[in-house]
Amino acid sequence: MPAFEDSDLNVQAQPAQQQRSNSQAVGSSYGGSLPVPGMEPGTDRSVEVPATRSSIADPSPYMHQLSLSPSMKDRRGSRNSFGASLPIPRSKRQSRLSSVHYPDAKSGRPGMPPIQPTREILASQIQDLSGEKVKFAKNMAFAFDIDGVLVHGDRLIPEGKRALEILNGDNELGIKIPHIFLTNGSGKREVPRCEQLSKILGNPVALDQFIQSHTPMRALSEYYSTVLVVGGEGYKCREVAEEYGFKDIVVPNDIIAWDPTIAPFRVFTDEERATSRPRDFSKINIDAIMVFSDSRDYATDMQIIIDLLKSENGRFGTVAKDPVSQRIPIYFSQGDLLCPSEHPYPRMSQGAFRIGLEAMYKALTGVDLERVVYGKPELATYKYADEVMTSWMEQIHGEEKLPENIYMVGDNPASDIIGGNMYGWNTCLVRTGVFQGGDNDENNPASFGVFVNVLEAVKTAMRKELGQDFKFEWSSDNVNPVLGGGQDYSAIE
Ligand code: G3P
Ligand code: MG
Q: What is the DSSP string of 267-287?
A: ---HHHHHH-----GGG----
Domain match, 241 and 338 both? yes
Q: Give the pairing of strands 330-332 and 288-291.
A: parallel
> Is 60 among the domain residues?
no
Rounded Cα–Cα distance for residues 448 and 440 (Å): 10
Ranges 199-208, 368-377, 441-450: which has the least confidence: 368-377
Ligand 1 centroid distance, CA of 152 (Å): 10
Domain match, 242 and 307 both? yes
Q: Which atom of ligand 1 is nearest to the CA of 213?
A: 9
If phi > 0 it is left, if psi is from -120 to 50 it is alpha, else beta; for residue 56 that is beta
Ligand 1 centroid distance, CA of 411 (Å): 9
Domain match, 283 and 141 both? no
Q: Which domain holds residue 27?
A: 1-53
Q: How far apart are the first and last CA of the chain?
A: 87
Q: Give the CB-side neighbour count of residue 42, counting CA atoms within 13 A.
A: 0
Rounded Cα–Cα distance for residues 122 and 489 (Å): 9
In short, whether 294's Cβ falls inside 6 Å of ligand 1 is no
pLDDT at position 435, please? 93
> Is 99 among the domain residues?
no
Domain match, 232 and 356 both? yes
In short, whether 413's Cβ falls inside 6 Å of ligand 1 is no
Collect all residues with Cβ–Cβ distance below 8 Å to 42 and sequence separation of at least 6.
22, 48
Rounded Cα–Cα distance for residues 101 and 90 (Å): 24
In short, whether 186's Cβ falls inside 6 Å of ligand 1 is no
Domain match, 445 and 322 both? no
Do 460 and 451 meet the contact criterion of CB atoms below 8 Å apart? yes
Q: Which of 379, 456, 390 is nearest to 423 (CA)?
A: 379
DSSP string, 327-393: PPPEEES---SEE--SSSSPEE-HHHHHHHHHHHHHHHHSSPPP-EE-STT-HHHHHHHHHHHHHHH
In short, whether 147's Cβ falls inside 6 Å of ligand 1 is yes
Rounded Cα–Cα distance for residues 435 and 186 (Å): 21
Do 456 and 463 meet the contact criterion of CB atoms below 8 Å apart? no
Ranges 124-138, 153-167, 219-233, 351-365: which has the least confidence: 124-138
Highest mean pLDDT of the ranges 52-66, 93-107, 384-398: 384-398
pLDDT at position 13, please? 40
**Ligand number nearest to the C-alpha of 429:** 2
> Is 95 among the domain residues?
no
Ligand 2 centroid distance, CA of 185 (Å): 8
Domain match, 476 and 388 both? yes
Span 396-418, average pLDDT: 95
Q: How confident is the model at residue 376 (pLDDT cuts 50, 70, 90)?
A: very high
Ligand 1 centroid distance, CA of 23 (Å): 54
Domain match, 364 and 396 both? no
> Which tops the pLDDT comparison, 143 or 2?
143
> Which tops the pLDDT comparison, 107 or 409?
409
Cβ atoms within 10 Å of 312's Cβ, excluding its own: 16
Q: Which atom of ligand 1 is nearest to the CA of 411?
A: 8
pLDDT at position 203, please? 97
Chain centroid, CA 68 distance in Å: 17
Span 60-73, average pLDDT: 53
Rounded Cα–Cα distance for residues 211 and 184 (Å): 8
> Is 119 among the domain residues?
no
Q: How confident is the model at residue 49 (pLDDT cuts 50, 70, 90)?
A: confident
Q: Which atom of ligand 1 is nearest to the CA of 375?
A: 9
Domain match, 221 and 189 both? no
Mean residue pLDDT of the chain comes to 83
pLDDT at position 101, please? 45
In short, whether 231's Cβ falls inside 6 Å of ligand 1 is no
> Is 112 among the domain residues?
no
CATH number of the domain enclosing 191: 3.40.50.1000
- The answer on pLDDT for 5 being more than 50 is no
> Is 116 among the domain residues?
no
Three-state DSSP at 156 gives: strand
Rounded Cα–Cα distance for residues 28 and 35 (Å): 13
Q: Which of 155, 164, 150 is nearest to 203 (CA)?
A: 164
> Is 109 among the domain residues?
no
Neighbours of ion ligand 2 (CB under 5 A): 145, 147-148, 411-412
Cβ atoms within 10 Å of 26's Cβ, excluding its own: 21
Domain match, 222 and 361 both? yes
Q: Given 306, 341, 373, which residue is the final one in a domain? A: 373
Three-state DSSP at 121 gives: helix
Q: Which of 238, 225, 227, 248 is nearest to 275 (CA)?
A: 238
**What's the one-letter identity of residue 9?**
L
Ligand 2 centroid distance, CA of 238 (Å): 25
In short, whether 212's Cβ falls inside 6 Å of ligand 1 is no
Q: Which atom of ligand 1 is nearest to the CA of 412?
A: 8
Domain match, 225 and 368 both? yes
Ligand 1 centroid distance, CA of 433 (Å): 10
Q: Which atom of ligand 1 is nearest to the CA of 415?
A: 9
Span 413-417, average pLDDT: 94
Three-state DSSP at 289 gives: strand
In short, whether 301's Cβ falls inside 6 Å of ligand 1 is no
Domain match, 224 and 367 both? yes
Do 65 and 332 meet the contact criterion of CB atoms below 8 Å apart? no
Do 268 and 256 meet the contact criterion of CB atoms below 8 Å apart? yes
- The answer on pLDDT for 160 being more than 50 is yes
pLDDT at position 68, please? 59
pLDDT at position 36, please? 44
> Is 127 among the domain residues?
no
pLDDT at position 254, please? 98
| Structural domain total, the chain | 3
Span 92-111, average pLDDT: 48
Q: Which atom of ligand 1 is nearest to the CA of 338?
A: 1
Ligand 1 centroid distance, CA of 459 (Å): 23
Q: Given 357, 373, 389, which residue is the final one in a domain? A: 373
- The answer on pLDDT for 380 being more than 50 is yes
- The answer on pLDDT for 492 being more than 80 is no
Burial of 233 (0-12, 13-18, 19+ CB in 10 A): exposed
pLDDT at position 344, please? 85
Q: Given 330, 349, 373, which residue is the final one in a domain? A: 373
What percentage of the chain reaches a pLDDT higher than 70? 76
Ligand 1 centroid distance, CA of 243 (Å): 22
What percentage of the chain reaches a pLDDT higher than 90? 64
Domain match, 284 and 421 both? no
DSSP string, 197-231: HHHHHTS---GGGEE-TTGGGGGGGGT-SEEEEE-
Q: Measuring from atom 4 of ligand 1, which residue has the nearest CA? A: 185
Rounded Cα–Cα distance for residues 162 and 202 (Å): 9
Ligand 1 centroid distance, CA of 342 (Å): 13
Span 365-371, average pLDDT: 90
Total-model pTM: 0.81
Pocket residue to mutate for ligand 1, from 142, 144, 147, 205, most atoms within 8 A of Cβ: 147
Roughly what angle, to the nearest 10 degrees, separates helices 350-365 and 298-310?
A: 40
> Which tops the pLDDT comparison, 3 or 262?
262
In short, whether 145's Cβ falls inside 6 Å of ligand 1 is yes
- The answer on pLDDT for 31 being more than 50 is no
In short, whether 419's Cβ falls inside 6 Å of ligand 1 is no
Rounded Cα–Cα distance for residues 103 and 472 (Å): 21
pLDDT at position 75, please? 42
